[in-house]
């Protein structure tokens, strides 16, 4: 079972809670996904006087662990403030840390990310950083106190899948013992299966499910894909090779004929 910051996770799927047509459809999607963690973004204004409490109560009633995030934060200060608010609202030390560096690709500002990760870790948070596949940044994040890394597959909401499989494979090989979660960019179950086949520990989805025509059915499809991909990884897949390898026995055949 996957363990992060000493907590065992019942599922390898983390599901976001934004952009669904309605909270009822969101709840259906969670039921069909078997997701064990729900990520929730916290807008600062909703935290004031707990004006967003009704929606958070709906999320809390899903019966899964809550991973608040700092989505939409562009500076270290914003991210740290939002993290503190999230800790108060949800009563958890977990924080999915996003520090956005660029509006069009929503790619992380890795410099701000490392700085915010250090500040929050020292303050007792358990940080889940949204990062790139860059090995040096990954190393800095681990040094800053992170015990899990969340590299992107592709830009948030793009549905492009695993953009840099070479980089992601290198990351997996370089950090064999660090829980690695593919966060962002997945659009199809096959892409999630691919991530699991490559040995990633979990995936985080939002748009792919929320923006599907039928979110609950898509959530179910992703659940099946994760199961298949994980099982394939554990089964130790064969190595690809250049030439055909006959699948029927050749012994006893006159192979020169």
Partner 1 sequence: MKEVTVIGAGVVGLCVARQLVDRGATVRVIDSGGEAGEQSCSWWAGGMLAPFCEGESAEEPVVRHGEEALGWWQEKTNAVETGGSLVVSAQRDRADLKQFARRTKNHRSLSRAEIEALEPELPDGIQQALYFETEANLAPREALSALKTGLERDGVSFETGWADPDVLASDGMTIDCRGLAAADAFPDLRGVKGEMLIVHAPDVTFKRTIRLLHPRIPIYVVPREDGEYMIGATMIESKDSNRASVRSVLELLSAAYALNPAFGEAEIVEIGVASRPAFPDNLPRITRNGNLIRVNGLYRHGFLLSPALGGMVADLVFNKNTRPEFLYDYSD
The residue among 199, 197, 145, 162 whose CA lies nearest residue 177 is: 199
Instruction: Determine if 60 is a binding residue for partner 1 (CB under 8 A).
Output: no
CB of 149 to partner 1, least distance (A): 25
In the three-class reduction of DSSP (H, G, I as helix; E, B as strand; rest coil), residue 14 is classed as: strand
Report, in Å, the least distance between residue 47 CB and partner 1: 9
The answer to whether residue 45 forms part of the interface with partner 1 (CB under 8 A) is yes
CB of 224 to partner 1, least distance (A): 23
Q: Is 163 within any annotated ligand binding site?
A: no
Q: Note whether 48 binds partner 1 by CB under 8 A.
A: yes
Which region holds residue 23: left if phi is over 0, alpha if psi is between -120 and 50, else beta?
Answer: alpha
84 binds partner 1 (CB under 8 A): no
Is there binding between residue 157 and partner 1 (CB under 8 A)? yes
How far apart, in whole angstroms, are the C-alpha atoms of residue 66 and residue 69? 10
Examine residue 160 and tell whether it contacts partner 1 (CB under 8 A).
Answer: no
For partner 1, the closer of residues 148 and 210 by Cβ is 210
**Does 175 participate in binding partner 1 (rule CB under 8 A)?**
no
DSSP class per residue in 15-67: EE-SS-S-HHHHHHHHHHHT-SEEEEE--HHHHGGGTTHHHHHHHHTT-SEEE
**What minimum distance in Å lies between the beta carbon of 51 and partner 1?**
4
The verdict on 213 binding partner 1 (CB under 8 A) reads yes
Distance CA 135, CA 52 (A): 37
Q: Please choose, from the candidates 176, 192, 251, the residue with its C-alpha nearest in 3D space to the C-alpha of residue 34.
A: 192
The active-site residue out of 77, 96, 211, 253 is: 96
First to last CA, the chain: 53
Do the annotations mark residue 184 as ligand-binding?
A: yes
* Residue with Cβ nearer partner 1 (58 or 178): 58
Does the active-site annotation cover 96?
yes
Q: Which residue number, 54 or 177, has a Cβ lying nearer to partner 1? A: 54
Shortest distance, position 16 Cβ to partner 1, whole Å? 14
Positive/negative CA dihedral, 105, 111, 117, 123: negative
- Which of 34, 37, 65, 27 has the alpha carbon at shortest distance from 227? 34
Q: At what angle do helices 23-33 and 215-234 cross, to 10 degrees?
A: 20
Asked whether position 51 contacts partner 1 by CB under 8 A, the answer is yes
Q: Dihedral through CA 224, CA 227, CA 232, CA 235, nearest 10?
A: -140
Residues taking part in catalysis = 96
Which residues here bind partner 1, judged by CB under 8 A?
A: 21-25, 27, 43, 45-46, 48-49, 51-55, 58, 157, 211, 213
Residues that constitute the known binding site for 1-deoxy-D-xylulose 5-phosphate: 157, 184-185, 206-207
């Amino acid at each position: 079972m996957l363990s992060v910051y000493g907590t065992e996770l019942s599922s390898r799927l983390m599901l976001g809670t934004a952009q669904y047509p309605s909270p009822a459809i969101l709840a259906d999607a969670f039921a069909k996904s078997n997701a064990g963690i729900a990520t929730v973004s916290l807008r600062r204004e909703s935290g004031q006087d707990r004006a967003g409490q009704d929606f958070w109560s709906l999320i809390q009633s899903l019966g899964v662990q809550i991973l608040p995030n700092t989505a939409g934060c562009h500076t270290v200060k914003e991210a740290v403030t939002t993290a503190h608010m999230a800790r108060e609202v949800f009563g958890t030390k977990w924080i999915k840390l996003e520090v956005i560096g660029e509006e069009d690709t929503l790619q992380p500002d890795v410099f701000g990310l490392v700085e915010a990760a250090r500040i929050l870790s020292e303050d007792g948070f358990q940080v889940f950083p949204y990062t790139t596949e860059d090995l040096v940044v990954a190393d800095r994040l681990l040094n800053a106190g992170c015990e899990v890394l969340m590299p992107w597959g592709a830009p948030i909401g793009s549905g492009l899948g695993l953009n840099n499989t070479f980089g992601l494979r290198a990351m997996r090989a370089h950090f064999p013992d660090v829980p690695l979660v593919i966060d962002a960019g997945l659009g199809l179950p096959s892409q999630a299966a691919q991530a699991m086949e490559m040995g990633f520990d979990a995936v985080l989805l939002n748009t792919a499910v929320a923006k599907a025509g039928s979110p609950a059915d898509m959530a179910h499809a992703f659940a099946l894909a994760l199961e298949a991909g994980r099982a394939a990884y554990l089964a130790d897949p064969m190595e690809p090779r250049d030439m055909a390898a006959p699948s029927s026995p050749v012994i006893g055949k006159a192979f020169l004929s």
